[in-house]
Amino acid sequence: MNKLLHHKWTPWVLLALAAAFPFVAGAIEANYLVRVGGVIGLFMLLGLGLNFTLGYAGLFDLGFIAFYAVGAYTTAIAMKAGAPGALALVLAVLVTLAVRALLGLTILRLRGDYLAVVTMGFGEIARLTINNLDSLTNGPKGMQLAPWRPLGFLSADPNVQYYLMILAAVAVSCVASRRLEDSRVGRAWIAIREDEIAARLSGIPVREYKLLAFTLSAAFAGLAGGLFAQWEQFVTPESFVFWESILVVSIVVLGGMGSIPGVLVGALVLVGFPPLMQWKLSADWINYRYLFFGLILVLVTLFRPQGILPSSRREAELTS
Amino acid sequence: MTKKHSFLLEVKDLAQHFGGLKAVDQVNLCINEGEIVSVIGPNGAGKTTFFNVRTGVYPGTRGESVFCGTEIRGKHCHDIVCRGVARTFQNIRLFANMTSLENVMVGRHGRTSQFLLGPLLRTKAFKQEEKEIEHMAKELLEFVGLKSLGNELAKNLPYGAQRKLEIARALASEPKLLILDEPTAGMNPTESQDLVTLVRKVRDRGVTVLLIEHQMRVVMDISDRVIVFDYGVKIAEGKPKEVVANARVIEAYLGKEGA
């Protein structure tokens, strides 16, 4: 099992299967699952993003969904102003990065619980601002987006198109995460998580590296938010409540902090399970989703506190 | 500025006060290149605080700390490390969930430069640097005798090996001065002897060593010079034999005769 998991072809096989999925699902009339798949993918992106802050650098962030919101609203506003879809996505990433960097500059001197509380506060401030800034965001009534369907040649179904775009974004994000993790930069982040003072005295400029991890996180959230807005063609502040931040933190913790496969599995389990239940059993089951969510968290915490797929360190060749 | 003094490290009137408590006060000392110098003193004498000021953990209240002709008091830790001062800790501080090899590789941070784009695009320069980092880390693991444990997580190493791993990590930054804070704490005589041998080997690499030590046998055995602290003040300095005969030192450790 472990060998299979670490085989070098495993990611590619999984990617191919995931890419083929919407076409298979279309054939067996399970279009609903493609939609679910897309949502899972968005949360995978969010999880991979938060993994930089929480998994690598060990900084608790309970307001991460705010940056999903910034991405979504930046896209909506840019497209309303006439920007093409691709440009809107780029803008979403850039604006989210900038907001995140500014926040990081002001709050990263805080640690642990204090940082968690302040980020939580920021998450709420962001949502309330969006809710009340009628001139820019149209407040609680939400914003409509013009359709952007760049993958029309692959499928007429927008759900399939966005599923595939999100899948591509997840794949690229995984590669980027993996490459940074396995480098001087990634080692510095993990060293900071493990022991900040020892990291400082090993020559790592801790403040700068924390800010870097914190900021980079937002690129993934911004991209996810942009894709979400374009897919739904509608954004409202309702989508970015505190609960969603908790969900992203749970994905990272449950999957295994600092573990890329862990984040993917965490999103699959936590985001995929409730709609799957609803699909297979009956619509009533969705009322029990928080019960199952809690049950999963309790079981994992009891029996596998390091996460479902905890990160494993790279083994070096020691002979020679 | 350049040839005024040939000391590796020159500390003048260094002080660190915490409110009214003078943890370190009026400390003057010089360290020559290639020496092994021990700092001793009763518990709470200010030894560790002195080291913390030296390595930038505390800013210091007043005084000068000149290393290789540059004032370094109040500079950032990472800056001081890059100038060639590395240290280990009294209570071991390893990166517990990283492998031994990775711990040493982290120690290379200040001597390497690849940033975001290199790792993301896996450029030639990046691969080359990674190879060098890994090579040097392996070489250092071998130097301290931990090569076979390279893939073990640091937290799973036996105690003595953890101490050695800290030294390897510190050496990875190519220091001119290595500061060891109680390297033999909690070790049995055989392990201590092992460590003394290692410290000599480190010195033979051309690294000056400054250490805090409690085991007098180790201090007598290893030091070229001994400096004694008590209540934050330097009370004696000299060759090991001279220092143990010094009346103030005996008083600090054992109390005044007839008191």
Q: Which residue of chain A has the CA closest to B83? A: A203
User: Which candidate from A176, A202, A314 shows the least CB-CB separation from B106?
Assistant: A202
Number of domains in chain A: 1
Pick the CATH number of B1-84+175-259 from 3.40.640.10, 1.10.645.10, 3.40.50.300, 1.10.260.40: 3.40.50.300
CA-wise closest residue to A225 among A50, A75, A39:
A75
* H helices present in chain B, as ranges: 47-54, 77-83, 100-107, 117-121, 124-144, 159-171, 189-204, 216-222, 240-245, 247-254
Q: How far is CA A33 from the centre of its chain?
A: 19
Give the pLDDT score at B3.
Answer: 46
Which of B82, B98, B115 has the CB atom closest to A185's CB atom? B115
DSSP string covering A270-309, please?
HHHHHHHHHHHS-GGGGGGHHHHHHHHHHHHHHH-TT-SS
**Nearest 5°: phi and psi at B46?**
105, 10
pLDDT of residue B1: 41
* Secondary structure of residue B171 in the 3-state scheme: helix
* Residue B239 region by backbone torsions, left for phi larger than 0, else alpha for psi between -120 and 50, else beta: beta
Per-residue pLDDT tens digits for A218-256: 999 999 999 999 999 999 999 999 999 999 999 999 999
The percentage of residues in chain B with a pLDDT greater than 90, rounded to a whole number, is 49
Q: Do A195 and B94 touch (CB under 8 A)?
A: yes
**pLDDT, mean of residues B203-214:** 91
- A320 has a pLDDT exceeding 70: no
Comparing C-alpha atoms, which of A103, A18, A68 is closest to residue A221? Answer: A68
Q: In whole angstroms, what is the distance from residue A232 CA to residue A42 CA?
A: 12
Radius of gyration of chain B (CA): 19
Tell me how far apart the alpha carbons of residues B130 and B91 are, in angstroms, rounded to a whole number: 30
Is A27 among the domain residues?
Answer: yes
Q: Which residues of A touch B153 (CB under 8 A)?
A: 313
What ipTM does the predicted assembly reach?
0.89
- Residue A136: pLDDT over 80: yes
pLDDT level of residue B257 (50, 70, 90 thresholds): low
CATH number, domain of A97, equals 1.10.3470
Are B151 and A315 in contact (CB < 8 Å)?
yes
* A312 found inside a domain: no
Asked whether the beta carbons of residue A187 and residue B109 sit closer than 8 angstroms, the reply is yes
Which pair of tokens denotes residue A131?
Answer: 């809710």
Query: E strand or H helix at B56, and its extent?
Result: none
Q: List the single residue in A182, A199, A313 with the smallest CB-CB distance to B99.
A: A313
Tell if the CB–CB gap between B101 and A316 is shorter than 8 Å. Answer: yes
Rounded Cα gap, residues B214 and A224, in angstroms: 57
The CA distance from A56 to the nearest CA of chain B, in Å, is 12
| pLDDT at residue B255 in the model | 79
What distance in Å separates the CA atoms of residue B246 and residue A309, rounded to the nearest whole number? 61
A319 inside domain: no
Distance CA A262, CA A278 (A): 25
Dihedral, CA of residue B185, residue B187, residue B193 and residue B199, to nearest 10: -40
Question: pLDDT exceeding 70 applies to what percent of chain B?
Answer: 97
Residue A320 placed within a domain: no
For residue B76, the model assigns a pLDDT of 87
| B26 CB within 8 Å of a chain A CB | no
**How is chain B split into domains, by residue range?**
1-84+175-259, 100-166
Please give the single-letter amino acid code of residue A75: T
CB-nearest to B151 from A183, A199, A316 is A316
Whole-angstrom CA distances from A151 to A40, A155, A157, A160 are 20, 7, 9, 9
In this prediction, residue A95 carries a pLDDT of: 97
Which amino acid type is present at position B12? K
First to last CA, chain B: 49
- Alpha-carbon gap: B151 to the closest alpha carbon of chain A (Å): 6
Q: Average pLDDT, stretch A109-133?
A: 93
- Which residue of A180, A184, A313 is in closest CB contact with B112? A184
Question: Could you identify the residue written with the tokens 């250092």?
Answer: B140
Residue A72, pLDDT score: 97
Report the pLDDT averaged over residues B232-250: 87
Average pLDDT of the residues of chain A: 91
Residue A317 lies in a domain: no
pLDDT tens digits, B47-96: 888 888 888 888 888 888 888 888 888 888 888 898 899 999 988 999 99
Side-chain-facing half-sphere of B79: CA atoms under 13 Å: 12
Long-range pairs, B224-227, Cβ under 8 A, ≥24: B224/B35, B224/B36, B224/B37, B225/B35, B225/B36, B225/B37, B225/B38, B226/B37, B226/B38, B226/B39, B226/B40, B227/B29, B227/B37, B227/B38, B227/B39, B227/B40
CA distances from A111 to A114, B100, B141 (A): 6, 27, 33
pLDDT at position A155 over 60? yes
Which chain A residues in 170-189 lie under 8 Å from chain B, judged by CB atoms? 176, 179-180, 182-188
Chain B nearest-CA residue for A174: B120
Distance CA B102, CA B86 (A): 17
Q: How far apart are CA B153 and CA A122, in angstroms?
A: 37
Q: Which tens digit of pLDDT belongs to each residue from A10-54?
A: 889 999 999 989 888 877 777 888 999 999 999 999 999 999 999
Q: Does A319 touch chain B (CB under 8 A)?
A: no
Contact A75, A95 (CB under 8 A): no
Q: Which domain holds residue A60?
A: 2-303
Across the beta sheet with B208-212, what order do the strands follow? B85-87, B177-181, B208-212, B36-40, B225-230, B233-238
Interface test with A, best of B57, B82, B97 (most A CBs within 10 A): B97
d(C-alpha B178, C-alpha B86), whole Å: 5
Check whether A319 has a pLDDT greater than 70.
no
Q: Is A314 part of a structural domain of the chain? A: no
